[in-house]
Structure formats: structure tokens, C-alpha cells
């Protein structure tokens, strides 16, 4: 698999604002790639640099080893699904989908066949003649997809395509998009601010803050091994605990108030090594154990807050003088529930702790 899209040290500024501030990316052919970040982090601008709607202040975009410098959007091998879908209101479904075929010089029968295939692909068969104004949000989304995919682009760019849909439909479209991408084999680049969307759909994710890529990894690595506190707290939840390095060989020996002395493999330590260190642990890596059990590494504490989410319950537990742990407990069969003020005993999975030196 070759590198299909390459962004080389791209900058884009609007006046004084550096929307994209030195981004380099390699996106492989056939990947489902996500640009994830809070609003204003430059992810949409980066997508528009690839599409050609914005020109980089400096740096370059390559698609299929060809520099895109000076190439207008209509001549790039990319197609885009817009955030508001941008369905042409004066055309019906069929005319919308066939819009880009006009310049491909296909004959009428071939065009009709392609349109039918594209509509079938997105599950809109038979709606050929429906007016664009009579479509629901989900249907517009599908028309936008069909209209772009019919041109068989090398790269499909999706600008927060699911953000306007309600939760149920959004989840359904997420899995459909994933299947669609596998079926057509086209490289998808998705812009989203929804971490779960990025994790569930993508092969690789680039997390962006302030115009820069903070981390680029597979969804699993991004969640399990975030390389900075900022990424760790943006993707899911993580509890941070102050610690101190007290010894160092192949592993780091760290003293902290809650966990006492623990050792952490250096592959799980990120940042410049220094004395002050912050330990991070995900809420689901801590289990509630019976108060009678006796083993190593047990922590006891008092519940100060309970948030019920249906399938899980989150507890905030005060352990020791200053630190609190957030734990997430599956509400599965036999699981007891606890209320504020109760004393409970916890067992953290120390292998899943990561450390950030600050």
C-alpha cells in the first residue's frame, strides 16, 4: 500500500490566526482516516487544503505522488461530502447524483446505470425522481455520498457528515459508512469532533489541537497509549494522579499517594523525563472488590459522587487526602450498586497505568 495523500509541513493562516500550523501527514491508500479535534483546531481547514478550497500559506499537498499546487478543486481526484450536504435544491435526486457525470462524456444509458448503482450502494434505490427539498437529513446525507462516490474519486473527504443527525441515525450511518468504505475500497478522510465516531470508524486517527497534530495512531493505541495528557483527556476519560520518581533502571519506580510504590515500563512513560510525574488510569481499569478481600495494591476510599449511565455507573471516590479516582463499573448481572458516602475497596490494574512526565 502506497502513500496516497501526503501533507508536507502545511501552514494556513487567516489574518493573524494560524488555522493549520505545520502539519505533516501520510495517509495510506484504502484507509479510513480521521482528523479528530475540538472545534477550531484546524481539522476542517486541513480537509479544505486537501480538497483545494483553500491554498496553503506554505507547505504542500500531494495526492498519488502528484503535487496539488495550483490545481483547482474541480481538477483534483478528490470529492467531498459537505457538513450541510450541499444538495442542489433545484435538482432532483437523480440529477444531483448525476451532476458530476456531465463532464465525463458518458452516454445516457451508461449514466442512468451508474446513477442506479450509486443509489443502490447508499440504499436509496427508487428515489430517483424525488425532489431535493423532500429529503430527510439522512437521505440528503446518502445523496451527497452517492453524488461523490459515482465519480470514483481517489479520496473521499467527509466534513463532519454525521453531526447534524440524531444519535440513533448517526450510529447507524457510522457503521454504514464503515461498510461502504470497505466495499468501495476508496480512501476516506473524515473530519469529526466526536471521539467515539473516530475510534469506531477509523483505521488511523490524527488528533489535532491548535492547528497541530498532537498524535497520530490507530484507535486502540490512541486510547490505550495516549502520548500526552491533552490527548488522554480528549479521548475518553482519564484520572490523573501526582507521583514522584524514586528509582530508575529498565523500569521507572514511582511513588504516589494512592498506589504507593509501583513500577512502570519505560514504554508507557511519555514526555521529557523529570522528577515530577503524573500517572494516568482509565476509569474502566479499576474494579470494585469486596471490602473483605486481602491482596496487594488495594485502595480504599469513600464515594463522593455517582453518575448513572444505564449500562455503566461512574463513581468518584476520594482516596487519601487530596486525590480522587474516577471508576467506571459495568452494571452487569450481580454487580452491586453503591451510593454517595459508602466506603468501598478498589483494585487498579497497574499494568494499564501510563505516566506523563511534566
The site for another protein (CB under 8 A) is made up of: 51, 53, 72-75, 78-80, 82-84, 86-90, 99-100, 102-104, 132-133, 147-148, 151
Nearest to 240 by CA among 322, 351, 338: 322
Q: How far apart are CB 89 and another protein at their closest, in Å?
A: 4
Q: How far apart are CB 60 and another protein at their closest, in Å?
A: 20
Cα distance between residue 126 and residue 242, in whole Å:
61
Q: How far apart are CB 99 and another protein at their closest, in Å?
A: 5
Nearest to 161 by CA among 35, 19, 31: 35
Which lies closer to another protein via its Cβ, residue 38 or residue 137? 137
Which lies closer to another protein via its Cβ, residue 102 or residue 182? 102
Residue indicated by cell numbers 490523573: 240
Which lies closer to another protein via its Cβ, residue 4 or residue 155? 155
Phi, psi of 229 (to 5 degrees): -60, -35
Reported as half-sphere exposure (CB side, CA atoms, 13 A), residue 104 has a value of 14
Which lies closer to another protein via its Cβ, residue 83 or residue 218? 83
Residue indicated by cell numbers 502513500: 3
Q: How far apart are CB 206 and another protein at their closest, in Å?
A: 22
Which lies closer to another protein via its Cβ, residue 83 or residue 358? 83
Which lies closer to another protein via its Cβ, residue 95 or residue 257? 95
| Residue 230 burial (10 A CB sphere; 0-12, 13-18, 19+) | middle
- Residue count of the chain: 358
Nearest to 186 by CA among 153, 147, 161: 153
Q: How far apart are CB 131 and another protein at their closest, in Å?
A: 11
Q: How far apart are CB 356 and another protein at their closest, in Å?
A: 40
* 3-class secondary-structure state, position 109: helix
Amino acid at each position: 500500500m502506497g502513500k496516497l495523500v501526503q501533507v508536507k509541513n502545511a501552514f494556513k493562516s487567516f489574518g493573524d490566526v494560524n488555522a493549520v500550523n505545520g502539519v505533516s501527514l501520510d495517509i495510506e491508500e484504502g484507509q479510513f482516516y480521521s482528523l479528530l479535534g475540538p472545534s477550531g483546531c484546524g481539522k476542517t481547514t486541513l480537509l479544505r487544503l486537501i480538497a483545494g478550497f483553500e491554498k496553503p500559506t506554505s507547505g504542500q499537498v500531494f495526492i498519488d505522488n502528484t503535487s496539488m499546487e495550483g490545481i483547482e478543486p474541480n481538477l483534483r481526484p478528490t470529492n467531498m461530502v459537505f457538513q450541510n450536504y450541499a444538495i442542489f435544491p433545484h435538482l432532483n435526486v437523480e440529477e444531483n447524483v448525476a451532476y458530476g457525470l456531465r463532464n465525463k462524456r458518458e452516454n445516457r444509458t451508461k449514466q442512468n446505470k451508474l446513477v442506479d448503482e450509486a443509489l443502490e450502494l447508499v440504499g436509496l434505490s427508487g428515489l430517483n425522481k424525488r425532489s431535493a427539498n423532500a429529503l430527510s437529513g439522512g437521505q440528503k446525507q446518502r445523496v451527497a455520498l452517492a453524488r461523490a462516490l459515482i465519480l470514483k474519486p481517489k479520496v473521499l473527504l467527509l466534513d463532519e457528515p454525521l453531526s447534524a443527525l440524531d444519535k440513533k441515525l448517526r450510529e447507524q450511518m457510522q457503521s454504514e459508512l464503515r461498510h461502504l468504505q470497505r466495499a468501495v475500497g476508496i480512501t476516506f478522510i473524515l473530519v469529526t469532533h466526536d471521539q467515539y465516531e473516530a475510534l469506531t470508524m477509523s483505521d488511523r486517527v490524527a488528533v489535532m489541537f491548535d492547528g497541530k497534530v498532537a498524535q497520530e495512531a490507530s484507535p486502540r493505541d490512541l486510547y490505550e497509549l495516549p502520548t500526552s495528557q491533552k490527548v488522554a483527556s480528549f479521548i475518553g476519560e482519564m484520572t490523573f494522579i501526582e507521583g514522584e520518581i524514586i528509582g530508575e533502571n529498565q523500569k521507572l519506580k514511582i511513588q504516589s499517594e494512592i498506589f504507593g510504590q509501583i513500577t512502570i515500563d519505560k514504554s508507557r512513560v511519555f514526555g521529557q523525563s523529570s522528577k515530577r510525574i503524573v500517572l494516568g488510569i482509565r476509569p474502566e481499569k479499576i474494579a470494585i472488590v469486596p471490602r473483605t478481600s486481602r491482596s496487594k495494591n488495594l485502595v480504599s476510599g469513600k464515594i463522593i459522587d455517582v453518575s448513572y449511565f444505564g449500562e455503566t455507573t461512574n463513581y468518584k471516590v476520594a482516596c487519601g487526602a487530596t486525590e480522587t479516582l474516577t471508576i467506571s463499573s459495568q452494571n452487569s448481572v450481580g454487580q452491586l450498586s453503591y451510593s454517595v458516602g459508602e466506603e468501598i475497596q478498589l483494585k487498579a490494574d497497574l499494568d494499564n497505568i501510563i505516566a506523563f512526565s511534566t
